[in-house]
């Protein structure tokens, strides 16, 4: 039990250290996406290949939306009127569709990686 | 709108339902009274409400990635509880009162956490339509249908496991448990990659030609064992590492149990 407790503590320390390594994460390119009227603006986003980028998604609708993409392997709920941070990449060149899971017929877009 | 809500709720409910089925089947095999399920469901729903209510605050933790970090943390907690469970299931005292109580406690915690995770997403989705009565009714209907399908699939798995004789039922449940645990920990690593707490590289393989992630089989496998068509090295590493660790725990526990039986002069 003692070993387990120490392992757990070590794990928590690891997580906290990883989380506070802020400066190491600074400098990632930021791209902005807006959700308005259950649509993505812009619906096409061009990002550099092989680079991890930060997506700042601003949901200006009053209701929540979930940014989701099977190709990008990302999903995140963003409440109405709030901004969400999602890191994507690094990605090989190509097109990666994403959609709003709560309104999939209208909220669609793709990330074009060049 | 109806179909969308069916699919959304089905996916969330399925993940929790499968875990509950496996743990319920194990309870029966090991003579653990199943009263814990009700308690776990209740705790889970309450916690899901709390998380849904506090989602704004939580989202802003850790520079906007609080959701991912708390979700990942819950996954890791479930994983550790599953490993402890696996160890206890092979423990030498063969399920005396104390072990049974601990097992029930662990199962309660696991299910409550799983329901919190899945439940809050469903809640956020449904409550988003609270202001629009027409949509809300459709969404509630769709959610009920989706939940019903998810619970039915869970029940199917439960009865499939129960239909096996005791030995194979135990074995099959444990195999599923190891895969579920590996899937959970790999999902957690994906969340941390999304939050930029873990680095990422290009995916190491692409199996979408075999099983596409958005196909029915793919979704089922995702919910059950965390199937990913394009995992990165870290995700795959967490998956296989997670499975390996569980196997080691299980083997260690079985070994201790076997040795203890021999010592006691049993066969």
Tens place of pLDDT per residue across chain B (267 aa): 888 899 899 989 999 999 999 999 999 888 888 888 999 999 999 999 998 888 888 888 998 899 999 999 999 999 999 999 998 887 655 567 888 889 999 999 999 999 999 998 888 888 888 888 888 999 999 999 999 999 999 999 999 999 999 888 888 998 999 999 999 999 999 999 999 999 998 999 999 889 998 888 888 888 888 899 999 999 999 999 999 999 999 888 878 777 665 555 444
Q: Is B141 exposed, middle or buried (0-12, 13-18, 19+ CB in 10 A)?
A: middle
Q: Which helix (H) or strand (E) holds A69?
A: strand A65-69
Q: Distance between CA atoms of B249 and B11, rounded to whole angstroms? A: 30
3-state secondary structure of B124: helix
Q: Where are the alpha helices (DSSP H) in B30-165?
A: 36-53, 55-64, 66-89, 97-127, 133-163
Q: List CB contacts (< 8 A) between B200 and chain A.
A: 52, 87, 89-90
Among B65, B190, B213, beta carbon nearest to A70: B213
Residues in chain B within 8 Å Cβ distance of A103: 4
Closest to A91 (Cα-Cα) out of A29, A34, A33, A37: A29
pLDDT band at A24 (very low <50, low <70, confident <90, very high): very low
Distance from C-alpha of B109 to C-alpha of B83, rounded to nearest angstrom: 13
Whole-number pLDDT of residue B266: 47
Query: What is the pLDDT at residue A22?
Result: 42
Over range A76-82, report the average pLDDT. 91
Distance CA B60, CA B65 (A): 7
Chain A residues whose CB is inside 8 A of the B192 CB are 18
Say which DSSP state B229 is in: S
Number of Cβ within a 10 Å radius of residue B157: 21
CB burial of residue B168 (10 Å; 0-12, 13-18, 19+): exposed
Question: What are residue A84's DSSP bridge partners?
Answer: A57
Q: Sort residue A40 into left (φ over 0), alpha (ψ -120 to 50) or beta.
A: beta
Q: Report the DSSP pairing between strands A108-113 and A39-41.
A: unpaired
A54 interfaces chain B, CB cutoff of 8 Å:
yes
Spatial CA neighbour of B122 closest among B155, B103, B147, B141: B147
Query: Would you call A74 and B194 a contact, using CB atoms and an 8 Å cutoff?
Result: yes
Do the Cβ atoms of A68 and A101 come closer than 8 Å? yes
Separation between Cα atoms, residue B145 and residue B35, nearest integer Å: 26
Taking CA atoms, what residue in A is nearest to B65?
Answer: A85
Rounded CA separation B149/B9 (Å): 9
What pLDDT does B267 receive? 46
**Residues of chain A positioned with their CB less than 8 A from the CB of B80:** 8
CA-to-CA distance for A111 and A43, rounded, in angstroms? Answer: 8
Q: Flag whether residue A108 sits within 8 Å of chain B, measured between CB atoms.
A: no
Q: What is the DSSP letter of A97?
A: E
Kindly report whether the peptide bond that precedes residue B57 is cis, defined as omega within 30 degrees of 0: no
What is the arithmetic mean of pLDDT over A63-81? 92
Nearest to A90 among B55, B128, B201 (CB): B201
Cβ-defined contact of A62 to B131 (cutoff 8 Å) = yes
Q: Is B195 on the interface with A (CB under 8 A)?
A: yes
- Mutation test of the interface with chain A: which of B196, B217, B230, B233, choosing the one with the most A Cβ atoms within 10 A? B196
B54 touching A (Cβ < 8 Å): no
**How many CB atoms sit inside 10 A of residue A55's CB?**
24
Burial of B222 (0-12, 13-18, 19+ CB in 10 A): buried
Query: What's the mean pLDDT when you consider all of chain A?
Result: 85
Whether residue B120 contacts residue B55, with contact meaning beta carbons closer than 8 Å, is answered with yes
Q: How many CB atoms lie within 10 A of CB B182?
A: 24
Please say if the pLDDT value at position A13 is more than 90.
Answer: no
Contact flag B128-A80 (C-beta cutoff 8 Å): yes
On whether the CB atoms of residues B112 and B105 are closer than 8 A, the answer is no
pLDDT of residue A100: 94
- A28: DSSP letter: -
Q: What is the pTM of this model?
A: 0.87
């Amino acid at each position: 039990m003692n070993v387990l407790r120490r392992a757990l503590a070590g794990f928590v320390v690891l997580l906290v250290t990883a989380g506070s390594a802020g400066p190491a994460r600074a400098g990632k390119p930021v791209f902005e996406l807006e959700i308005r009227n259950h649509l993505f603006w812009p619906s096409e986003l061009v990002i550099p290949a092989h680079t991890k980028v930060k997506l700042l998604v601003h949901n200006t609708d009053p209701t929540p939306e979930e940014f989701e993409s099977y190709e990008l392997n990302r999903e995140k709920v963003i409440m109405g009127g709030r901004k969400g941070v999602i890191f994507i990449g690094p990605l090989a060149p190509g097109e990666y569709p994403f959609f709003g899971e709560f309104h999939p017929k209208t909220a669609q877009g793709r990330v074009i990686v060049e | 709108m109806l179909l969308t809500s069916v699919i959304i709720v089905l996916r969330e409910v399925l993940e929790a339902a499968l875990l509950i089925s496996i743990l319920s089947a194990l309870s029966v095999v090991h003579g653990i009274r199943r009263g814990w399920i009700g308690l776990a469901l209740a705790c889970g729903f309450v916690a899901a409400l709390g998380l849904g209510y506090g989602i704004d605050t939580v989202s802003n933790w850790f520079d906007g990635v609080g959701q991912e970090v708390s979700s990942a943390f819950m996954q890791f907690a479930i994983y550790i509880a599953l490993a402890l469970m696996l160890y206890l299931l092979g423990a030498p005292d063969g399920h005396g009162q104390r072990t049974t109580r601990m097992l029930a406690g662990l199962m309660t915690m696991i299910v409550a956490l799983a329901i919190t995770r899945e439940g809050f997403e469903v809640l956020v989705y449904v409550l988003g339509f609270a202001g629009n009565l027409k949509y809300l009714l459709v969404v509630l209907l769709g959610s009920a249908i989706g939940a019903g399908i998810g619970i039915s699939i869970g029940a199917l798995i439960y009865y499939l496991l129960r239909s096996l004789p005791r030995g194979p039922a135990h074995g099959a449940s444990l195999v599923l448990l190891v895969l579920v645990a590996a899937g959970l920990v790999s999902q957690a690593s994906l969340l941390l990659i999304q939050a930029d707490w873990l680095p990422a590289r290009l995916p190491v393989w692409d199996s979408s030609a075999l099983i596409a992630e958005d196909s029915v089989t793919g979704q089922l496998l995702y919910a059950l064992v965390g199937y990913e068509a394009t995992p990165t090295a870290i995700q795959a590493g967490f998956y296989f590492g997670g499975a390996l660790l569980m196997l080691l725990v299980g083997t260690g526990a079985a070994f201790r149990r076997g040795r203890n039986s021999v010592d006691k002069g049993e066969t």
